[in-house]
Chains A and B, each alone.
Chain A
Amino acid sequence: MGKKTGKQTYQFGNPPIILSTGTVAGPFEGLGPLHEDFDEILTDPRNNEKTFEQAERSMLTKACQLALDHASCSTAEVDLFLAGDLLNQIISANFTAITLGIPFLGLYGACSTAALGLGLGAMLLDGGFAGTVLAATSSHNSTAERQYRYPTEYGGQRRPYQQWTVTGAGAALLGYNGAGPKVTAVTFGKVIDLGSTDPLNMGAAMAPAAADTIFQHFQDTGWDPNAFDLIVTGDLGKIGLDLCRGELAENGLTLGENFNDCGVMIYDLKKQDVHAGASGCAASALVTYGHLYKKFQKKELQHLLLVGTGALHSTTSFQQGENIPCVAHAVRIEA
Chain B
Amino acid sequence: MSKPKLTPKQQKYQNKAKKTEPKPHYLKNVSFAFISGGLICMLGQAFIDFYSAIMNIPLNEAANPATATMILIGSLLTGFGVFDKLAKYAGAGIAVPVTGFANSVVSSALEFREEGLVYGVCAKMFTLAGAVITFGVMTAFIFGLIHAIFH
CB of A20 within 8 A of chain B?
A: no
Contact status of A155 and B86, CB under 8 A, knowing A160-B23, A161-B21, A201-B21 = yes
CB distance B11 to A321 under 8 Å?
Answer: no
Using an 8 Å CB-CB cutoff, how does the interface string of B15-38 with A read, 1 for contact, 0 for none? 011001111100001000000000
The docked-state distance in angstroms from the alpha carbon of A152 to that of B103 is 11
B78-109 interface with A by 8 A CB criterion: 78-79, 81, 83-84, 86-88, 90-91, 94-95, 100, 103-104, 106-108
Residue in A160, A207, A323 whose CB lies within 8 Å of B24: A160
B9 — which chain A residues lie within 8 A by C-beta?
194
The docked-state distance in angstroms from the alpha carbon of A243 to that of B22 is 13
The docked-state distance in angstroms from the alpha carbon of A201 to that of B23 is 12
CB of B139 within 8 A of chain A?
A: no
Residue in B6, B14, B20, B83 whose CB lies within 8 Å of A239: B20
Contact status of A195 and B84, CB under 8 A, knowing A151-B110, A154-B104 = no
What's the minimum C-beta distance from B70 to chain A, rounded to whole angstroms? 14
Using an 8 Å CB-CB cutoff, how does the interface string of A145-158 with B read, 1 for contact, 0 for none? 01000111111111
Q: How many of B's residues come within 8 Å of A, CB to CB?
A: 42
CB of B1 within 8 A of chain A?
A: yes
CB distance B107 to A154 under 8 Å?
Answer: yes
CB distance A323 to B17 under 8 Å?
Answer: no
The docked-state distance in angstroms from the alpha carbon of A207 to that of B21 is 13
B143 — which chain A residues lie within 8 A by C-beta?
none
CB distance B3 to A321 under 8 Å?
Answer: yes
CB of A246 within 8 A of chain B?
A: yes
CB distance A157 to B13 under 8 Å?
Answer: no
The docked-state distance in angstroms from the alpha carbon of A81 to that of B78 is 41
CB of B111 within 8 A of chain A?
A: yes
The docked-state distance in angstroms from the alpha carbon of A71 to that of B87 is 47
Contact status of A51 and B10, CB under 8 A, knowing A153-B81, A154-B128, A157-B91 = no
CB distance B86 to A320 under 8 Å?
Answer: no
CB of B134 within 8 A of chain A?
A: no
CB distance B17 to A196 under 8 Å?
Answer: yes
CB of B144 within 8 A of chain A?
A: no
CB distance A193 to B10 under 8 Å?
Answer: yes
Using an 8 Å CB-CB cutoff, how does the interface string of A307-334 with B read, 1 for contact, 0 for none? 0000000000000111100000000000
The docked-state distance in angstroms from the alpha carbon of A157 to that of B21 is 16
CB distance B88 to A155 under 8 Å?
Answer: yes
CB of A208 within 8 A of chain B?
A: yes
Residue in A158, A160, A243 whose CB lies within 8 Å of B17: A243
B84 — which chain A residues lie within 8 A by C-beta?
152-156
CB distance B114 to A50 under 8 Å?
Answer: yes
The docked-state distance in angstroms from the alpha carbon of A193 to that of B3 is 14
B29 to A, closest residue via Cβ: A157
Contact status of A323 and B100, CB under 8 A, knowing A153-B78, A155-B86, A204-B20 = no
CB of B2 within 8 A of chain A?
A: yes
CB distance B1 to A321 under 8 Å?
Answer: yes
A sample of 19 inter-chain contacts (CB < 8 A) reads A146-B111, A151-B107, A151-B112, A152-B107, A152-B110, A152-B111, A153-B103, A153-B110, A154-B107, A154-B108, A156-B87, A156-B95, A158-B88, A194-B9, A196-B14, A197-B3, A239-B22, A243-B16, A247-B13
